[in-house]
Structure 1
Amino acid sequence: MHRDYIKEHRPILFNDLILSGHLWVYLVDWNEQAQERLDTIMEQMKAAEGVTEELKRTHQMEWVQRCNNIHNRAEEIILHEMIYS
């Protein structure tokens, strides 16, 4: 997604990365940073909202629903903070 974004909105950066042969290294690094940020945000949201292992043990479906909700919100944050910037 970030590749498409820089290709469309930052063509000079995109061309520089392609010509230097660093596009894939750049994108892999960007992906790793995004994944680490996603994991951090999710853990913080789980702690803030009380999504614990105890909830997982006692109310599995609620735990799954809340985790999915947190994951979706965290992905939106990552998209706005990192991918489309």
Structure 2
Amino acid sequence: MNAYLADVDKQAEERFERIVEQMKQAQGITERLKAKNALEWVGQMNNIRACAMEIVEREIIFA
């Protein structure tokens, strides 16, 4: 059981990171934005992470 849970956790983490990177690229969220307007960058990243978490939960955790 522990091995299964560890595998699911690893899959979820990897999928989360891939989705975040894809969404950052699609929305043009860059280090340049982070340097120019840190507050906007944080808001955008929080939104991206929340969306990515919803996707991972739907695809892997609750599937």
Match of 2:49 in 1: 71
Structure 2: which 5+ runs fail to align? none
Higher relative contact order by CA 8 Å / sep ≥ 6: 1 or 2?
2
Runs of 4+ in 1 over 3 A off after TM superposition: none
TM value normalised by structure 2: 0.98
Match of 1:36 in 2: 14
RMSD: 0.4
Q: Which structure 2 residues correspond to residues 53-68 of structure 1 after superposition, within 5 A?
A: 53-68=31-46
CA distance in 1 between counterparts of 2:44 and 2:52 reads: 12
Please state how far the C-alpha of 1:74 moved relative to its aligned partner: 0.3
Q: What is the number of residues matched between the two proteins? A: 63
Letter of the 2:46 counterpart: N
CA distance in 2 between counterparts of 1:29 and 1:73 reads: 22
| Residues 1:49 and 2:21 aligned together | no
| Residues 1:26 and 2:4 aligned together | yes
CA distance in 1 between counterparts of 2:11 and 2:58 reads: 14
Structure 1: which 5+ runs fail to align? 1-22
User: Any idea what the Cα deviations from partners look like across 1:9-43, whole Å, max 9, x if unmatched?
Assistant: xxxxxxxxxxxxxx001000110010000000000
User: Any idea what the Cα deviations from partners look like across 1:31-62, whole Å, max 9, x if unmatched?
Assistant: 00100000000000000000000000000000
TM value normalised by structure 1: 0.73
